[in-house]
Structure 1
Amino acid sequence: MPEAAPQRADALKNREAILRVAHDVLAETPDASLNSIAKRAGVGAGTLYRHFPTREALILEVHRQGIDRLADAVTDALATLPPLEALRSWFTTLTGYVRIKHGLGEALHSAAAQEVVSASWPPVTEGVRRLLDACEEAGEVRPGIDPVDVIMLMSCLWRTPDSPEGAAQADRLMQLAIDGFRP
């Protein structure tokens, strides 16, 4: 199969604008039309459809980029915060991301979507492992905590209401979990 030609700079700029807008619009209104996304991105519908021929293709790419941003956020958090605060901050970011993802509902339940969603586990698990390793090195958590167990435990965070009360409850739940991680 021949290698795809590199995209022109304006095409890349349009693609990035579409993805940025789609992330925000779909977070607000999961059933937003592709035409409304194109309009807010400042491109024509044809441009959007050239990059993303189906709604599912757009949603899956938004999801993939979200996972990439989550993985990058681990490095940023560890570079700027003490390890335990980095863990807290990252799980708060993950909680917001999962809420958006859940808002997309059926869009992430097709066979193609499941492949993309399944591919998100390794980078998320690796991010949690890096955070736990840093916390362990700092003596803030006991050794040997399984990252997958932590993800499963912390999944309660994205089940809290998306409100000030829910945020307070999520903080309490996170504190309970972290207290259980301590040496």
Structure 2
Amino acid sequence: MAERRLRADALSNRARIVQVARDLLSSTSELPMNAVAKAAGVGQGTLYRNFPTREALLAEVYRADVDQLVASAGTLLGEHDAATAFRRWLDNVADYARVKRGVLAALEPGSGHELAASHTGPIGEAIDRLLAAGREEGTIRADVTSRDVLILLGFLSRLDEASAAESAHHILDLIFHGLRTRGGERPRAEGAAETGG
């Protein structure tokens, strides 16, 4: 019982460290480890036991954000129609992009790009799931691929904070409306006869 409680405490400490680091990245790319430990309410020993280097902590912040973003696709599809789920998922992408900008700014360029590239697959799979649901519903264009969407979303991690705060959701709206079938209506079956003007 005591061992289980210790394990739960250790997991709680680790999760708190990651969340604190995530929050601090919104205000600084320096991310001093002593500031993380202080804000998380843990000792330096606990911090370094979980994350031996600053790079390891940054990688975990990024991984946790990717996991959360990917998982949210299924959650949203379970709660909304496909088009609404996709649009709300794009709002989650805006939050993820903010964290990604912070992580990449805090890492050496080479390791930052390598980290981002290593997580493209799961994000692409989440997009494929959303696209498939939208096509089934008839609200998302059939000619759009997850690669297309990833390219369109790539701009978010390149915006500075001021630009992102001002325009990210507006630009996501533009992207989303470009993905939709005309007027959001169910597309005709291939070869169906045209009717009316």
Give me the TM-score of the superposition, normalised by structure 2: 0.78
Q: CA deviation at 1:103?
A: 2.4
The residue aligned with 2:194 is none
The secondary structure found in structure 1 opposite 2:16 is: helix
User: Across the two proteins, how many residue pairs are aligned to each other?
Assistant: 173
Structure 2 residues without counterparts, runs of 5 or longer: 182-197
CA separation in 2, counterparts of 1:47 and 1:95? 32
CA separation in 1, counterparts of 2:41 and 2:106? 27
CA separation in 2, counterparts of 1:74 and 1:98? 16
1:177 counterpart letter in structure 2: I
| Cα distance change on mapping 1:174 and 1:110 into 2, 3 Å | closer
Q: Is the 8 A contact 1:108 1:117 kept in 2?
A: no
| Cα distance change on mapping 1:45 and 1:126 into 2, 3 Å | same
**1:174 aligned to 172, 175, 178, which one?**
172
Q: Is the 8 A contact 1:83 1:138 kept in 2?
A: yes
| Cα distance change on mapping 1:96 and 1:33 into 2, 3 Å | same
The secondary structure found in structure 2 opposite 1:27 is: coil
Q: Is the 8 A contact 2:156 2:164 kept in 1?
A: no
Say what the alpha-carbon RMSD is for the aligned residues.
2.3
Q: CA deviation at 1:106?
A: 4.6
Of 53-62 and 12-21, more deviation after overlay is shown by: 12-21
Q: CA deviation at 1:152?
A: 0.8
The residue aligned with 2:121 is 122
Give me the TM-score of the superposition, normalised by structure 1: 0.83
Instruction: Write out aligned runs for 1:61-140 (5 A).
Output: 61-104=60-103, 105-107=105-107, 109-111=109-111, 113-140=112-139
1:77 counterpart letter in structure 2: L
The residue aligned with 1:152 is 151
CA separation in 2, counterparts of 1:110 and 1:156? 19
| Residues 109-141 of structure 1: CA deviation (Å, up to 9, x unaligned) | 344x54432221111000111111111111101
Q: Is the 8 A contact 2:97 2:156 kept in 1?
A: no
| Cα distance change on mapping 1:120 and 1:110 into 2, 3 Å | same
Q: Is the 8 A contact 1:18 1:38 kept in 2?
A: yes
Q: CA deviation at 1:108?
A: 5.7
| Cα distance change on mapping 1:9 and 1:117 into 2, 3 Å | same
CA separation in 2, counterparts of 1:77 and 1:108? 34
**1:162 aligned to 161, 164, 169, which one?**
164
The secondary structure found in structure 2 opposite 1:28 is: coil
2:87 counterpart letter in structure 1: R
Q: Is the 8 A contact 1:157 1:174 kept in 2?
A: no
The residue aligned with 2:188 is none
CA separation in 2, counterparts of 1:120 and 1:108? 17
Identity, % of aligned pairs?
Answer: 37
CA separation in 1, counterparts of 2:13 and 2:38? 12
CA separation in 2, counterparts of 1:124 and 1:83? 17
CA separation in 1, counterparts of 2:17 and 2:121? 26
